[in-house]
Amino acid sequence: MPGLLLPLFPLGVVLFPRTRLPLHIFEERYKKMIGDLMDTTREFGVVLTIDKGVASVGCTARITGVKKRYEDGRLDIETIGYRRFEISRLDEDEPFLTGQVDLFDDDETSGPADESLIQKAIRGYYAMRALESGRDLPEPDLNDSQLSFQLAQAITDVKVRQVVLMSRNEAARIRRLAEYFPATAAKERRVEEFKSIIPRNGHARLLPSS
C-alpha cells in the first residue's frame, strides 16, 4: 500500500514488528495524536531520532491498551509493532510530525535462515536475558515467521537495531544476531564482573592469582 499518510512519533528507540512498546505520553501534541487514534485501529509510526532529524525507516504501532490516565491528560499506553515502512516525504503542517510512507516487507527471494544459526541466535538471546541488563527482556515468540525481530529485542545498540529493522532478508538478520549476541554477552559479562570486584568504599583490592 504505497502513499500511506501516518502520524509519526520520533523516539530514541527502534520498534520491531510484533514486539511490545510501553509509552508515556506527556507532550500536548502527542496527547492530541494518541487521542485521535485511541478509538480506532489506525496506526502511527515509530521512528528513531537521529542527529539531523529522523531515520528514513520505521515501524508502525497499534495501541493495545491504556495502562494509566493522569488528571493532567498524560497517558501510559501499551502498543505493539505492526509493519515496517520507509518515509518518502515529511509533513510538518500538523502539531505533530506526519509522513507519507511506503510499506514494505522482506524480499520474496530471501531464503530461510540456517538452522544452526537460528539456534545460535536463540541461545544468544537467552544469554543476554540472563544478564543483569537484560532482566526485563520478554519471552520471545519462537514461532514468529520472522524470528529475528523477536530476538532483536535484546540488542542494546539502537544503530544495530535500526540496521536489523531495515534489512529485508530474514536469513541475513539471523546471521547478524548469531554474530552479535555472543560478542556482546561476553562484553557485558566482563563489565558485570569488573563491577563486582570494586568494593563500595572505593578502595581497590588485588584478586588472588590462579
Please indicate whether residue 91 or residue 102 has the higher confidence score (pLDDT): 102
With beta carbons less than 8 A apart as the criterion, state whether 99 and 6 touch.
yes
CB crowding 84-113: b at 16 or more within 10 Å, else e: bbebeeeeeeeebbbbebeeeebeeeeeeb
pLDDT of 192: 61
As a CATH number, domain 4-104 is 2.30.130.40
pLDDT of 166: 98
- Residue 36 CA to its chain's centroid (Å): 24
pLDDT at 1 exceeding the cut of 50: no
CA-atom Rg of the chain in angstroms: 20
Looking at the chain, the domain(s) classified CATH 2.30.130.40 span 4-104
- The whole-angstrom separation of Cα 204 and Cα 210 is 18
pLDDT of 199: 54
Sign for the CA dihedral angle at 102, 156, 20, 25 comes to negative
Read off the C-alpha cell for 205.
583490592
- The whole-angstrom separation of Cα 185 and Cα 196 is 16
pLDDT of 68: 94
Give residue-wise pLDDT tens across range 178-187: 999 999 988 8
pLDDT at 62 exceeding the cut of 50: yes
Q: What is the pLDDT confidence band of residue 2, given thresholds at 50, 70 and 90?
A: low
Exposed, middle or buried by CB within 10 Å (0-12, 13-18, 19+), for 164? buried
Which among 54, 56, 46 has a CA at the least distance from the CA of 14? 46
